[in-house]
Structure 1
Amino acid sequence: MKLRRAQERDESNAWKAVARETFRAFDLIMTPALHGHDRQSGAQAAAAHLERGRQLMQPIIDRYVADARTPLGRAWRTSRVARGAYVQAFAQAMAHASARSAGEPETGWPILYSRGALPLIVRYTGDRRILNDEEDPR
């Protein structure tokens, strides 16, 4: 039971780190001037935060896949995650940031920034103080 709680706490901290990077990217996309950027350089910085968020999400995905009991279950989870909402949302947001940094016209708003679309991200972006209180030590 203690191991399960520790894993849940670790996963909670991991999702909080992913949400923090997502929130920073959103700030850079929405208000680049507040961070000393123009629109293109703000989008480049946002893309870096999105890439870091995707990298922080990878261990969560790996644990989910590894927890399957059979090889077939692992294969199913791997394909499910690859088509999953979170992976696709990060890919879409990164494409949006890349297009914006290249000066291309925007085709739409990424689902990653849509309120309520991804509950595991929204859980930690709802209160900005949570994100600002625990800065990433890395």
Structure 2
Amino acid sequence: MLLAPFYSTKEKQIFVSAEQASNFAKRQCFDFNPIHDPENKRFCVPGDLLFSLALHTYGVSESMSFTFTNMVGADVGLTFPDTDDETIIVTNDQGKSVLEITRKGQVNKDPEFIESLINNYGQFSGQNFPSVLMPLMKEPGGDV
């Protein structure tokens, strides 16, 4: 399974270590944003990994929107609720929302399709940092 090396589970929660998150960012998405370096004091789990975990957990619906509501640090317990609702709120171990998903339509849960989507999206998304964000950060006032 593609995502297995990048998270662990305990008591119905998902945990991502700084090393796992960084490896996902660099190996899966070719994303070298320093905020995903384990030693960075502002470290956060990549949104691409949270997105991928959501697809792995819930499948791919005909229509989906994702809103990242809070950053996730290393080793924070995440709860992906067991639900068929159209609105899903993923929370951290303090009950705060970190990701809100709205979905509609039929759901595709084919593991090969989901892994292909995760692979292709991750590689595309990871390129946003060097080709889009880095130039913006170099502009005056471009503090990301």
Superposition TM-score, scaled by structure 1 size: 0.26
Greater Rg, structure 1 or structure 2? Answer: 1
**Structure whose residues are more often helix by fraction:** 1
